[in-house]
Structure 1
Amino acid sequence: MSSASLSSSSPGLRIAADVGGTFTDVAVFDEDSGGIRLGKTLTTPSSLIEGMNHGVGKAGADFADARLFLHGTTVAINALLERKGARTALVTTKGFRDIYEIGRINRPEAYNLFFRKHQPLVERALRVEVDERMDAAGEVLRPLIDTEVEAIARRLLEEGVEAVAILFLHSYRNPDHEIRARNIISRMMPNAFVTASHELSQEYREFERSSTVAANAYIGPHVTRYLSEADRVLSGVKFHGKLLIVQSTGGLYDAAQARRECIRMLESGPAAGVIGTRELCAVIGLRNAIAFDMGGTTAKAGVILDGVELTANQVMVGGYAEGLPIQIPMIDIEEVGTGGGSIARLAQGKSLRVGPESAGAVPGPVCYGNGGTEPTVTDANLLLGRLAPDLFLGGEMKLDVDGAARAMTDQISGPLGLSVAEAADGIIRIAVTQMANVVKRVTTARGLDARDFAMVAYGGAGPLHAVLVARELQIPRVIIPNAPGHFSAYGMLVSDLRRDYVRTLFARLADAPFDSFNAIFRELEQRGRDDIDEAAPERLDIIVKHAVDMRYIGQEHAVTVEIDSGAFEARDIDAIKAAFDAVHNQRYGYASNDESAEIVNLRLSVIGVIAKPRLAPLDAAASASADEALIGVRPVEFGVMGGRLETPLYDRARLLRGHRLTGPALIQEYASTTVLLPGDVLTVDQMGNLDIKIEVQP
């Protein structure tokens, strides 16, 4: 991958590393030459930072020469999902210790007799009450007694608590009691991770705020140890630059903030991929796109609508049925446990299941030869001929076809009375259906039609399956970017520093207190500018975005509406109401122009714009024929879409702008393989992207 030069006040290397469940991807941007170099290595679960260091070496770079290290990791989300966090206590207002467990009493499956509600991260015995109380206006009803908090801290020390979450009623309006309690507990428990809800969200809804601060405390010690280990290793390799972490918004924040606000990095890697998709769309003039990311462990999907990534203000980590709400801004990403390493097994009644358990990096799929014993999606692709066993990772890792075939025969095809190819095809078809459902959750469930979007597919396994998912959903166009196996790492290189704020303030739009609105916006903007100035490696241009959460009077839930700041300065009620009606209509299919509305929350985002790498266009091909990129022909099984076909294999590095291919075909590159189905047509665009027109069935 190459790029045009980028001016900088202090040029050097900018290193980005995305640590996934199976592979660690590294992209290194040289601000002097404008080039981007790539490295990929198996993730090292015992020491993730060591795996990153290895990947940087494979990219021909050195941390000692870098001025910025941008990092996205699954360490936070994994600790939460796998329930491997710290022994945590929740300190809350008297009478409210059980709101965290009671929740919203959601019953997604009303007739499911085996339904299980969410399981709190904090056991009831460690949910401790304090006899204090604020009212909804932030006025003190019962004062906080310091000696009571001190006694609680002594008890928690005796209980061996490692992390403490503090949630007091209405602290979003007045955080004074939370601040005092945090200071006392931090003083008496100096080795504990202590966090208060107002530091993460100044938004109403006590259950969601309880869940958010509890999750931050639960993963806090684990993330803090990880970042401390990263500091130690980086110091050892003489890195003297700035370490920035990718947030779930796709923005960057510094490591000091990441230690306090760990919950903001839950979806850091996937979010960077969506930001990369947004930048790609801007370059090629695409307004609407589905970002589809398939790696070794999971598949993720997000949406770019009108050139902007869709965001959510709350997500259910662990799924809607049993998950825990996290109330912070993040890119709206849905995911499923279907990746290249997802294990295929026969369940009760010999029904075939794929995932969510993954073979991960250790032992990995059977074909990796690292001790894996159960067939995976990667093994199925190899047995169908869609992966070249001698070209995986540029030939660095030879794949074991015979081992994969034995595992498939013993555990899947033999018991089902199928051929190896039929069993492998069944695994892929099940995986594709599961991934198509994820795409539906970010489109159809949001009132969008997937057929109106192009799909940008990346991740090591994304190009293998993208056209299959597109056909399932009748998506007419798929784009495979340059170096798709490193695309999330590339997304970090085009990310900006970002801080997001929310402040609850209930007001009817008709008599909205615009003076108060504008004062709050000015306060939040100054906080954001100060935070970014402190974290930035240099002086940055600032972009400020304003939004409000609104609803019709009488509704319970609100939608977020981005509003130009001029509408608040001009007190333009009609413009604000029209913007709300449009968003509500898109989300729910109706709007009421005559119905009164109210504002619930004010939102403000402050973005520090970092200079971006600019990719250079490819040389033009002499003709549309891509014969010069042909490196072989191999038999590939396409199942119901064509059966077993002799399929040409092309080297992507040799494809030039204007080259055109008609499926079936395989396009091979270092960290990925693109599958072109019979009837699909691929054109290489001026930036080197593979632009595929899908033969959609009516």
Structure 2
Amino acid sequence: MDTLINIDNGGTLTDICVWDGTGFTFTKTLTTPHDLSECLFAGVEKASAALYGRADIERLLHTTQHIRYSTTQGTNALVERRGPMIGILTTMPDLAAAMRTTEAERDLFDGLVGDRVLVVDVAADEESTEFDVVQKVNRLATLGAARVVVAGGDPEQERRLRAVLLRTFPRHLLGSVPLIYSWDLAGDRSAPRRAWSCVINSFLHPTMERFLYGAERRLKSYKIVNPLLVYRNDGASSRVAKSVALKTYSSGPRGGLEGTAALARAHGFEHTLMIDVGGTTTDVGVVVGDHVAADERGTIRGVPISYPMSNVHSKGVGGSSVIAVEDGRITVGPQSVGAAPGPACFGFGGRQATITDVNLLLGVLDPDTYLDGTFRLDAERSRTVVTETVADALGISLEEALVRMEQAFFEALSSAFAHLVQENTTLAAFGGAGPMSATGAARPAGVKRVLVPRTAAVFSALGISFSDIGKTYEAGVPEPTTAATRTTYDELLGRAERDMFQEGYPLAACAASWQLVVEEEDGTPVSRGPYRPGDAVGHPERRVSLQLTITAPLPHPELTADQEVETRPASSVGSRSVRSAADRVDEVPVHVLTELSPGDTGAGPAIVEGPFFTARVLPGWTFRVTSGGDLLLHDTH
């Protein structure tokens, strides 16, 4: 049982990448928003057919050690505000104001919490406090709170509130309004960050819970022993029951970043920009050397949280982004047609134009080979929609509209990463729409080198292959002494031992990394360094905390390092008529990446068909197939 299945669930398509210890098998399927388990199992079934020559989902599942799953559903739920109303019960009168200091914070607070914040006076006597707590929890429920965050100024205040709530509310009543205690979720001393972490986690939890537990139950019908794992935004994986919903946010882009770091190692790149162009958004991240850039205290939708987050930002530009006319100019996104109804050429009733429709009509896409021939595109539907929504609106020909729409998409995509470009930057372009537009977006940003992985269509799913099972803990040390720090160390180690046992791994089989963090009063890290039990703290005037990362290693693939090989002209399988201007159509050679060998070279204009993706090589660009079978492109202008 050494097979690992990695799944990245996107808004339009779901990617499946299977690692069997020697190589990858991958496929794609349309996302089914009405029931996400449907596309999960459809994808696993398609992967089994690719592996065995016929569909045999049970055989594949029974040879699988773990399924690691990443999803955008939490991200989408927060963007669309699809989730429960949250209430806050706190001992801090100024907490709401401290959580609403910026426009982004005010916007999210008003949407998720609103006026559902009530303050308890813990200085009162026990009887008065008990009465006050009961009244205010009931009041929050009356105001519509479906989940309540309990935030005390210190752990002891929260313990007092917990004792009251457990004593005064019968479990069947308390369970109808779940409670989350801020110091339990995060050891961060900053009350606003800690409370925000709880609010967002509470909001995301129902969306993740319904699907993930449903998928886990369905897997058990196949008598699967090993559990479904959730891939997290810190680059590790854990069981559904042991995962924090907050850490699923933006987990797909973290997979892409881990894969980009592996590519950077294999190619020796110094500064790599990842652009993961999906159906709805483009995710952009930075890898310096082979190190993933991350923030010590992350942000979600501009709101600070207590956990580290990979430094990824998203822009509403993707293969399903709506291209329209507003005030006489062409706009791209952020609205998206998603998977349902999808681009017009999908034939599901879409009535808005997208870059997928544009590339089909330009001739870049072959209607019969989309998704490796498993899905046929309808050019007539695209022609109708582009004509009605763009060409007629601008009073121009369809041909001119297509060229201008493509250029608008290039510029919108370029603006997502241009500010991060350095002289030595390599652009790693993947996702379903990345290879198609990478050279067009790279040139206005000043990028001279683009890498399209041979697994570009499922690259974030492949990036999950570099994850282990792991947990991260943080706890503030009550006082900066050697004895107090050792006590905190023992407490964290006990938690880790219990958690990893529940993950199925003894602590002795895991790797542990300890950090002693010196902090400001509000919990902002000042410095950090390794910690061993018994070490002197050495910072009597500062607050300190301990951080523990515990990891149970899983098998990882090794990407092939690029080496110099003899070059030769790349063979083509034919040509395609591609429009390059309103009045010009070129016959462009078509190359099939899987039929090329390391060292094969070519020049634009050209099209390279990869597994489930189409790469466009514009004039002035050259390409070479690397030792690992990737596509490396250079701008010669």
TM band (smaller chain):
0.7 to 0.9
Partner of 2:146: 162
| Structure 1 residues 537 and 405: alpha-carbon distance in aligned structure 2, compared to 1, 3 A threshold | farther
Distance 1:125 1:636 in 2: 57
> C-alpha displacement at 1:208, in angstroms?
2.6
Q: Note if 1:631 corresponds to 2:573.
A: yes
The question of whether the paired residues in 2 share the 8 Å contact of 1:338 and 1:355 is answered with yes
Matching of residues 102-501 of structure 1 within 5 Å: 103-105=100-102, 117-132=107-122, 145-156=129-140, 161-171=145-155, 175-177=158-160, 179-180=162-163, 183=166, 187=171, 188-258=173-243, 261-318=244-301, 320=302, 324-347=303-326, 349-440=327-418, 443=420, 449-501=421-473
Query: Is structure 2 residue 38 aligned with structure 1 residue 50?
Result: yes
**Equivalent in the alignment of 1:660:** 601
Residue deviations 1:572-621 (CA, integer Å, cap 9, x gap): 99xxxxxxxxxxxxxxxxxxxxxxx9777654433332221335689998
Q: Is the 8 A contact 1:546 1:603 kept in 2?
A: yes
Q: Which moved more, 1:120-129 or 1:399-408?
A: 120-129
**Cα distance in 1 between the residues matched to 2:291 and 2:471:** 17
Kept in 2: contact 1:178–1:196 (CA 8 A) = no
Is 2:549 aligned against 1:605? Answer: yes
Q: Which residue of 2 aligns with 1:79?
A: 77
Determine the C-alpha separation between the residues in 2 that align with 1:456 and 1:558: 33
Q: In 2, distance between residues paired with 1:95 and 1:678?
A: 63
Counterpart-to-counterpart distance in 2, 1:280 and 1:333: 18
C-alpha separation in 2, matches of 1:631 and 1:182: 71
Aligned to 1:26, which of 16, 39, 43?
16
Q: Name the structure 1 match of 2:52.
A: none
Residue 315 of structure 1 and its aligned partner are, at CA, apart by 4.3
CA contact (8 A) 2:324 2:332 kept: yes
Alpha carbons of 1:363 and 1:540: their partners in 2 closer, same or farther (altered >3 Å)? farther
Verify the 8 A CA contact 1:685 1:691 in the aligned structure 2.
yes
Residues 499, 606 of structure 1: 8 Å contact kept: yes
- Name the amino acid aligned to 1:498: G
Task: Check whether the contact 1:545–1:562 (CA below 8 A) recurs between aligned residues.
Answer: no
Question: Does structure 1 retain, via aligned residues, the 8 Å contact 2:279–2:433?
Answer: yes
Shift of residue 412, structure 1, vs aligned partner: 0.4
Gapped runs of 5+ residues in structure 2?
49-55
Give the SS at the match of 2:216. Answer: helix
The range that moved more, 245-254 or 603-612, is 603-612
Contact 1:94 1:132 survives alignment (8 Å): no
Please give the residue correspondences for 1:665-676 in structure 2 after superposition, counting only pairs within 5 Å.
Answer: 665-676=606-617
Would you say the 8 A contact 1:93–1:132 is kept in 2?
yes
Give SS of 1:59's match: helix
**CA contact 1:24–1:51 (8 Å) conserved in 2:** yes
- What is the alpha-carbon distance in structure 2 between the residues aligned to residue 308 and residue 514 of structure 1? 32
1:39 counterpart = 2:34: no
- SS of the residue aligned with 1:131? coil
Paired residue type of 2:425: F
Question: How many correspondences in the alignment?
Answer: 623
Q: Whole-Å Cα distance in 1 between the matches of residues 379 and 585 of structure 2? A: 17
Moved more, 173-182 or 79-88: 173-182
**What residue in structure 2 maps to residue 62 of structure 1?**
57
Write out aligned runs for 1:524-563 (5 A). Answer: 524=492, 527-528=495-496, 530-536=498-504, 540-544=509-513, 546=515, 548=517, 563=529
What is the TM-score when the length of structure 2 is the normalising length?
A: 0.88
**CA offset at residue 650 of structure 1?**
0.7
User: Is the CA contact 1:340–1:376 (under 8 Å) kept in the aligned structure 2?
Assistant: yes
C-alpha deviation, 1:368, in angstroms: 0.9
SS, match of residue 360 in structure 1: coil
For residue 212 of structure 1, report the CA deviation from its aligned partner: 1.9
Equivalent residue number for residue 645 of structure 1: 586
Q: What's the RMSD between the two structures over aligned residues?
A: 3.5
Instruction: Give the AA of the match of 1:380.
Output: V
Deviations 1:340-381 (A, max 9, x none): 00011222x223221111111111001111111110121122
Letter in 2 for 1:467: T
Q: Secondary structure at the match of 1:98?
A: helix
C-alpha separation in 1, matches of 2:595 and 2:482: 59
TM-aligned CA deviation for residue 646 of structure 1: 2.3
Cα deviations by residue, 1:146-180 (Å, 9 ceiling, x for unpaired): 44434444445556643222112234x87524643
Q: Deviations over 1:91-145 (max 9, x none)?
A: 1125246336x6114599xxxxxxx854434444432222226xxxxxx999994
SS of the counterpart of 1:382? helix
In 1: Cα distance, 2:107 partner to 2:286 partner = 29
- Change in CA separation of 1:520 and 1:18 when aligned onto 2, cut-off 3 Å: same
Q: Match of 1:585?
A: none
Whole-angstrom distance in 2 between the partners of 1:561 and 1:380: 51
The Cα of 1:316 is off from its aligned counterpart by 4.2
| Inter-partner Cα distance in structure 2 for 1:547 and 1:690 | 43
Q: Aligned equivalents of 1:218 and 1:144: distance in 2?
A: 31
Q: Percent identity?
A: 26
Q: Aligned letter for 2:353?
A: P
Deviation, structure 1 residue 45: 0.5
Please tell me whether the aligned partners of residues 543 and 608 of structure 1 are also in contact (alpha carbons under 8 angstroms): no
> After superposition, what is the alpha-carbon deviation per residue over 1:420-474, rounded to whole angstroms, capped at 9, x for unaligned?
3432333333333333333256x3xxxxx53332122111111112222322222
